[in-house]
Structure 1
């Protein structure tokens, strides 16, 4: 199995080096193995995700990825690229707008909307798209790492 950011070198962007409007993104093609691994680690074996016959008979016409799997791609981006290693997740809002299916290429992006000096808090807009379709949006608040002295 390949992780969404496999082959992408982690990097830390320190609070002091951040600016409003700064963004980071990556793309990932959803595979059956991703859904199976997420089901195994989360314990969510809802047949809409894991049973092909059930998925085909559903309103979606196929299995769909777990919504929180898609949201976890925000975590990958925040924890590995912006701010990156050393970031501490404080909160996340999520709005699910459309399904994600096996084979879909998800484009995930985070953009800094606000910086709060007290506590080095950073508020980021989070979006995931399949083509031009917004599938997931929200807002994350993280504590960004402090630049070493």
Structure 2
């Protein structure tokens, strides 16, 4: 009866403490340009190498929310996956992400309230094993049961 759930979806009934999922993505100049276009955040620290060289970053960096978006991708596509509703997210940016960096985004289940379908996820992104972003997400997970 429930075999038609979207691939990658883990329903609340099947989520377990400690469960993790992740993705990796290389951040490209095109990613940064597209994010600037979509978000309308055209801060030159992201787009202008000459400008960015004279900042504390000493070069261009990706938008922090572009990096955070990779966490959203893991949550929306893998854990819990399709049908998940974001309820909240905390973020702390620890280091910049630069064009060409390969970002590893990972979420881990740290709390489950099956009755309310709520899941708390520890989230982080890292580059070369160094954490660049940490946070926590609270989501409403899909269920096989109908309300």
Same fold, judged at TM 0.5 (above): yes
TM-score, normalised by the number of residues in structure 1: 0.91
Structure 2: give runs of 5+ residues left out of the alignment.
Answer: 1-5
Instruction: Verify the 8 A CA contact 2:23 2:70 in the aligned structure 1.
Output: no
- In structure 1, list runs of 5 or more residues that go unmatched: 1-8
Q: Does 1:119 align with 2:116?
A: yes
Matched, 1:131 2:115: no
For residues 81-111 of structure 1, what are the alpha-carbon distances to aligned partners after superposition, in whole Å with 9 as ceiling and x for unaligned? 1111000000000000000000001011000
- 2:3 corresponds to: none
Q: Trace 1:1-20 onto structure 2 (pairs within 5 A).
A: 10-20=7-17
Return structure 1 stretches of 4+ with deviation > 2 angstroms.
Answer: none
- When residues 97 and 40 of structure 1 are mapped into structure 2, their CA distance, relative to the original with a 3 A threshold, is same
Mean CA deviation greater in 49-58 or 80-89: 49-58
Deviations 1:8-51 (A, max 9, x none): x9510000011000000111100000000110010100000011
Return the offset for 1:117: 2.1
Q: Distance in 2 between matches of 1:148 and 1:118?
A: 11
Q: Distance in 2 between matches of 1:74 and 1:113?
A: 15
TM-score (norm 2): 0.92
What whole-Å deviation, never above 9, does each CA across 1:43-69 have from its counterpart, x for those lacking one? 100000011111122221210000011
Aligned length: 141
Asked whether the 8 Å contact 2:13–2:114 carries over to 1, the reply is no
